[in-house]
Amino acid sequence: MAIERITPAQARERSARGVPLIDIRDAHEREVAHATASRHVPMTALESSPISHVPDLHAPLMLICERGGRSLRAAQRLEAFGYTSVASVDGGTAAWVADGLPVERAEIDRDFHDRYSRHLRLPQVGLDGQRRLEAAHVAIVGAGGLGSPIAYYLGAAGVGTLTIADDDVVDRSNLQRQILHTDAAIGQPKVASARRAVEALNPRLRVHAFAERVAASNVERLVGEADVVVDGADNFAARYLLNDACVKLGKPLVYGAVHRFDGQASVFDAGRRRGDAPCYRCLFPEAPPPDAAPNCAEAGVLGVLPGVIGLVQATEAIKLLLGLGESLAGRLLHFDALAMRFRETRLRPDPDCAVCSPGREFPGYTDCETVCATPG
């Protein structure tokens, strides 16, 4: 026997007459918006023990989900259990809302709901997770090739506060890979250009722009308020300073680097996990000499490569903020663009590391003037 499929208006009329309307979506979906007078019974709970939720097998019953597919399947399963009068709302809650029927919503504004609707549908994020992102603060050092996708995607994801630090200005040669900037921004500070681009994408953000080169004298001021620090720098001096500051301050550092056709990324979380997770100095105790580290202008870089690595870094930052999945802590991810191949190297903390070994006092910052081998 075919399941009866009804319109939202029909469901509204029947609900007014006392026919139960059951919303079978997960809680994170329902809290965004749900039909007024609907009762919440998640699909898994309804299917595992239908009698405990709907004891009368012959009383009229309506099911609603997001767009109508799940409710139809659930109705078919209830029919197999012996229920004789189950209807499914065609188009689900989306159609109910589109038809202007009464809904109840969590206390969020329309811009928030519309802008982050795809995150709100993810059970791993939902409303609580999106609010955590909006309350979060990420510091990005570097507004170049890596910093561009990092800032764009963290801004798009709704990370509420971004600190962006870079002392450089936009050059025409940057535009091949530094997508935050446009031709009209040539000659302007990168942080000013970056701030305009990110705020244009998402005006809900707070962007703190610092036209400064990270140094021992300012590193804690630049990253001290951040929940996560992301390394988009173009020099080893910044990389070591960020590492040391994050160990001292107990913050995770999301690392990325690119060179010609190769890139790598990791998370250095020794500041929060002494003796368990490595820091950058565990991998590279000392910076290489300048002649072993050709910069971008000398070595060149495939324009899309910083985009790939920067997106990996943005992903890791979001995961850290939400407490999702397995971070790259203890793993160095390598990317070969020519072979289109990823591989991993396992990293272990150095028990004799000068900065992060357990029980070792912080040795202080050292400004290093080594030029970086990995372009920003």
Same domain, 141 and 286: yes
- pLDDT for position 371: 36
- At which of 44, 72, 106 does a domain end? 106
111 in a structural domain: no
The bridge status of strand 341-346 relative to strand 39-40 is unpaired
371 in a structural domain: no
Q: Report how far residue 256's alpha carbon sits from residue 334's, in angstroms, rounded to the nearest whole number.
A: 10
Same domain, 195 and 152: yes
Same domain, 277 and 241: yes
Residue type, 46: L
Same domain, 77 and 140: no
Same domain, 173 and 302: yes
Same domain, 265 and 317: yes
Please answer whether residues 41 and 74 qualify as being in contact, where contact means their C-beta atoms are separated by less than 8 angstroms.
Answer: no
Same domain, 251 and 322: yes
Q: Report how far residue 37's alpha carbon sits from residue 19's, in angstroms, rounded to the nearest whole number.
A: 10
Same domain, 63 and 161: no
180 in a structural domain: yes
What string of pLDDT tens digits covers the 376 residues of the chain? 789 999 999 999 999 999 999 999 988 888 888 999 999 999 999 999 999 999 999 999 999 999 999 999 999 999 999 999 999 999 999 999 999 999 998 777 889 988 999 999 898 999 999 999 999 999 999 999 999 999 999 999 999 999 999 999 999 999 999 999 999 999 999 999 999 999 999 999 999 999 999 999 999 999 999 999 999 998 899 999 999 999 999 999 999 999 999 999 999 999 999 999 999 999 999 877 655 556 666 678 999 999 999 999 999 999 999 999 999 999 999 999 999 999 999 999 999 999 999 999 999 998 665 433 333 4
Q: CA dihedral defined by 338, 234, 141, 320, rounded to 10 degrees?
A: 30
- Whether 279 is a known active-site residue: answer no
Helix (H) or strand (E) holding 306: helix 305-322
Same domain, 202 and 63: no
**Which tokens belong to 239?**
């990389």
Q: Exposure of 44 by Cβ count < 10 A (0-12 exposed, 13-18 middle, 19+ buried)? A: exposed
113 in a structural domain: no
364 in a structural domain: no
361 in a structural domain: no
295 in a structural domain: yes
Of 246, 279, 296, 353, which is the active-site residue? 296
Bridge partners (DSSP) of residue 64 are 23
Q: Report how far residue 253's alpha carbon sits from residue 273's, in angstroms, rounded to the nearest whole number.
A: 12
3-class secondary structure, 292: helix
262 in a structural domain: yes
Please answer whether residues 5 and 72 qualify as being in contact, where contact means their C-beta atoms are separated by less than 8 angstroms.
Answer: yes
| Count of structural domains, the chain | 2
Same domain, 198 and 331: yes
Same domain, 79 and 57: yes
- At which of 106, 133, 156 does a domain end? 106
Domain of 127, in residue numbers: 120-346
Residue 201 CB neighbours (<10 A)? 15
Which domain CATH number covers 142?
3.40.50.720
Same domain, 65 and 176: no
Q: What phi and psi, each to the nearest 5 degrees, are found at residue 355?
A: -115, -45
Which domain CATH number covers 78?
3.40.250.10
**Which tokens belong to 204?**
């809900």
